[in-house]
Structure 1
Amino acid sequence: MFMRMTVANNIKSTIKNTEDAKEFMKSVKKCSQSESADKSLAGTLMSTLTNIKFDGSRTIHEHILEMTNLAARLKTMEMEVNENFLVTFILNSLPSEYGQFHMNYNTLKDK
């Protein structure tokens, strides 16, 4: 079935195998509402947020937006990321060439 082919492999195993599109969609809905799916997604988002690094393949603006979007998605799952932690995650994700941002932020924070 075409719909099943478009689902990621790690998710396919949790969805009941069926040839009927309606039944497939019911299975997907049931899996997406499960608590284990929420925990798994929250863990993935948290891991991404804490491990993401700026690699220069896009702009700083896009990088920061991605990180704030991850934090917003976690907030919808009742796992709010404190603003100070988010700023720290963002600053730590930047390479050493952006060390001036660290110093400026720390100076402003101390005032």
Structure 2
Amino acid sequence: MKSGSAVHLSVPVSLHSHTSSVPLFNRLNFSDWCEQVQFNLGVLDLDLALQVKKPADLTDESNADEKSFHKAWERSNRLSLMFMQMTLAKNIKSTIPKTESAKEYMKLVKERSQIADKSLAGTLMGTLTTMKFDGSRTMHEHVTEMSNIAARLKTLGMTVDENFLVQFIINSLPPEYGPFHMNYNTLKDKMECE
């Protein structure tokens, strides 16, 4: 080897080692999962199929650059699909329709996430409207939990008006908080009249 000449070494990188840094997709974490998948595929230089649409099929007239690009895109697509499949929970993986396109697979995973979001929003709303203070924790913890549920609903696209949240909290209190409930309603009525 001549002094000063550059040598390019191809270091094999384990796809599996990169998947371990990606949170397992569980239908409730699409944003984090997608961000990590795109980052890792970018680091591995395998994100071509997610960035560029599939090239036209090769013909007898295809030049060397077109053949090279086609080969790179096919490799990116194949390995991207494998990478994404390795980062899905097993019970979810079986529900994703088969596709040969990494970009389409990402879209199908996102759709599964949105279905889960709607289901979760319904569950959270049901919890918020039926939750009762049972004295097993402090009032502050109870109110904080209800506020956190409302904040979670907001991230899912369902905004709970502050007045409704206060009413849900008051309705969650047991009968011994009746005087507090009456005082709140009196104050609220007085404020509405002004």
Is 1:43 aligned to 2:105, yes or no? no
The number of aligned residues is 93
Paired residue for 2:187? 108
Q: Do the aligned partners of 1:31 and 1:37 also contact (CA within 8 Å) in 2?
A: no
Give yes or no for contact 1:74–1:81 (8 Å, CA) kept in 2: yes
> Pick from 48, 58, 71: which aligns with 2:137?
58
Rounded Cα–Cα distance in structure 2 between residues aligned with 1:31 and 1:78: 16
- Bigger fraction of residues in helix: 1
Distance 1:48 1:70 in 2: 8
Instruction: Give the Cα separation in 2 of the matches to 1:99 and 1:109.
Output: 15
Q: Deviation string for 1:43-91 (max 9, x for gaps)?
A: 1100110111111100011000000100011111110001111111100
TM-score normalised by length of structure 2: 0.43
| TM norm structure 1 | 0.72
Gaps of 5+ in 2: 1-26, 28-82, 93-105
1:92 to 163, 171, 176: 171
Question: What amino acid is the match of 2:88?
Answer: K
SS at match of 1:97: helix
Larger radius of gyration: 2
- Calculate the aligned-residue CA RMSD, in Å: 2.5
Q: 1:90 is matched by which residue type in structure 2?
A: I
